[in-house]
Structure 1
Amino acid sequence: MQLAIVGVGKLGLSLLTGVVNKGVIAPHDIGILEANTERAQDIASRLGVRMLAKEELGQAGRILICVQPRMFSDIAPWLAQENVGYISTMAGVSAGTIGRRLGTRRVVRVMPNLAATIGRSQTAVTGPREAHDAGDIDFARQLFGAVGQVYELPEHLFNAFTGMSASGPAYVAVVAEALADGAVRMGLPRPLANELAARLLSSTGELLLERAHPGMLKDEVASPGGTTIAGLEELEAAGVRGGVMKAVIAATRRGTELGKDQED
């Protein structure tokens, strides 16, 4: 068995589906361990993967830990296996902390975002030399490449990546909701306003990828004395730019706190 996945919630299932659909790993080489056995049975039946018991984890070459950080202390005793590489999606929990709890240096830390559910995630990957040497980093890149783009980062930047990219869909959703609310306030029907906001953010993302800096796109849209610059003036007066920056900073700090909660 190449991979065991511990925790098949929204993220775990998204990754599992992407890996199976793209043929990265054959279904019979994947096992899943999930507290909700009825859910696990349904997933195993649909995707052709194996259901596992705790005692079978040692049969896997690598284990993906896809649970909330607060659960790690409880599951660490039975997660620890010999000659196994680990990949963790737990926010804030360092590779060093995971390694100390599990008795290994073969730990890869990853951080995807919700866009994994549609195959467009941005995932950060990091790990110590032992994980590189054992091929665990390359394995993780291959896995998460099935659901989007992968970026290898030094671990000291991981919480910042989490605060921006992993938490970012929520910030952008608030912007979309505010745009739609403004349009409704000025008379557009709610369904149309919601659709326009979603399509606007999606297409703007594509435009931003074609430019060296976001300010370039802003300047293209804001003509002298026009409607856009009037709107931008209000955004600046409301402190929107500073508020978004503070959101990223707060989320980054919270990631650090989550990691400290799991330190020995």
Structure 2
Amino acid sequence: MKLAFLGLGKMGRSILKGALDRGFLRPGEVGVVGRTPERAQELAQAFGIRPLSLEELPQAERVLLAVQPRDFPHLAPEIAFPGVGYLSIMAGVSTALLARRLDTRRVVRAMPNVAASIGESSTALTALKEAREAGDLDFARALFATVGDVYEIPEHLFDPFTAMSASAPAYLALVAEALADAGVKMGMPRVLALRLAAEALAATGELLKARHPAQVKDEVASPGGTTIHGLHALEARALRAAFYEAVEAATRRGHELGEVE
């Protein structure tokens, strides 16, 4: 067995689906541990993979930890097995803490985002030296490439990455909803307003892949036009400051989650 999932929530299912759909893993090479044997059996049947107990985890070459950070401290003693590599998508939990709790230095830390469900995630990776030497980082890079782009970054940037990239779909969904609500206020039918907001964000994302944000803004904001008046209203409401505070608050929370002992 190449990979066992400890937990299979929305993110875990997205990663599993991407790996299977793109042929990186075959169903027979994957197992899953659920909160109960019944849940493991249910998840296994849904994907055609193998249900596992905690005691059976050593049958896998690697284990993907997809549980809540708060659950990790009491689970760690039950899942620490020599000879197994660990991939973690737990927010805030450092490689040092993973290594100490799991009694191994074969640990890789990853942070994907919800866009993994459509193959458009941005995933950060970092690993300890022993995980690199054992091929765990290469495996993780190939695994997460099935659900989007992969970035290997220094670990001290993980909490800001989480606060910005992993949380960004929620921030931008709020922007889209607010934009649509504003359109409704001006008389736009809600269904149309929501579609236009979604299309505007998607199209702007494509533009930003090739152009600096300031260039896009300046191209749209003609002198004395409607857009510059709208931008003035947003600046008056401290839109930039709100994003600064959101990323700072989420980064602080990432630090707090990493303090689990």
Q: TM-score, structure 2 length as denominator?
A: 0.98
Equivalents in 2 of 1:39, 1:199: separation in Å?
Answer: 38
DSSP-derived class of the 1:123 partner: strand
Shift of 1:41: 2.8
| Equivalent in the alignment of 2:238 | 239
Q: 1:170 to 1:36 in 2, by over 3 A?
A: farther
DSSP-derived class of the 1:93 partner: coil
Alignment of 1:124-163 (within 5 A): 124-163=124-163
| Equivalent in the alignment of 2:69 | 69
Equivalents in 2 of 1:41, 1:228: separation in Å?
Answer: 55
CA contact (8 A) 1:105 1:128 kept: yes
CA contact (8 A) 1:32 1:51 kept: yes
| Equivalent in the alignment of 1:181 | 181
Alignment of 1:27-46 (within 5 A): 27-35=27-35, 37-46=37-46
Shift of 1:26: 1.3
Give 1:18's aligned amino acid: G
Give 1:181's aligned amino acid: D
Shift of 1:38: 4.5
Q: Deviations over 1:201-242 (max 9, x none)?
A: 11110111011x211100111111100000000010000111
Q: TM-score, structure 1 length as denominator?
A: 0.96
DSSP-derived class of the 1:87 partner: strand
Equivalents in 2 of 1:39, 1:16: separation in Å?
Answer: 16
1:220 aligns with 2:219: yes
Point out where structure 1 has 5 or more consecutive residues left out of the alignment: none
Equivalents in 2 of 1:45, 1:254: separation in Å?
Answer: 36
Task: Name the % identity.
Answer: 58
DSSP-derived class of the 2:123 partner: strand
Equivalents in 1 of 2:99, 2:90: separation in Å?
Answer: 13
| Equivalent in the alignment of 2:14 | 14
Point out where structure 2 has 5 or more consecutive residues left out of the alignment: none
Give 1:223's aligned amino acid: S
Give 1:64's aligned amino acid: L
DSSP-derived class of the 2:177 partner: helix
Q: 1:174 to 1:106 in 2, by over 3 A?
A: same
CA contact (8 A) 1:20 1:47 kept: no
Kindly report the root-mean-square deviation, in angstroms, between the aligned alpha carbons of the 2 structures: 1.0
CA contact (8 A) 2:132 2:138 kept: yes
Q: Deviations over 1:162-215 (max 9, x none)?
A: 00011111110110011001100100011111111111111110111011x211
Give 2:62's aligned amino acid: R
| Equivalent in the alignment of 1:56 | 56
Shift of 1:46: 3.3
| Equivalent in the alignment of 1:251 | 250
Equivalents in 1 of 2:82, 2:129: separation in Å?
Answer: 18
Equivalents in 2 of 1:171, 1:205: separation in Å?
Answer: 14
Equivalents in 1 of 2:150, 2:34: separation in Å?
Answer: 26
Shift of 1:39: 4.5
Q: Deviations over 1:51-75 (max 9, x none)?
A: 1011100111100000110000121
Equivalents in 1 of 2:234, 2:197: separation in Å?
Answer: 17
Shift of 1:45: 2.1
DSSP-derived class of the 1:5 partner: strand
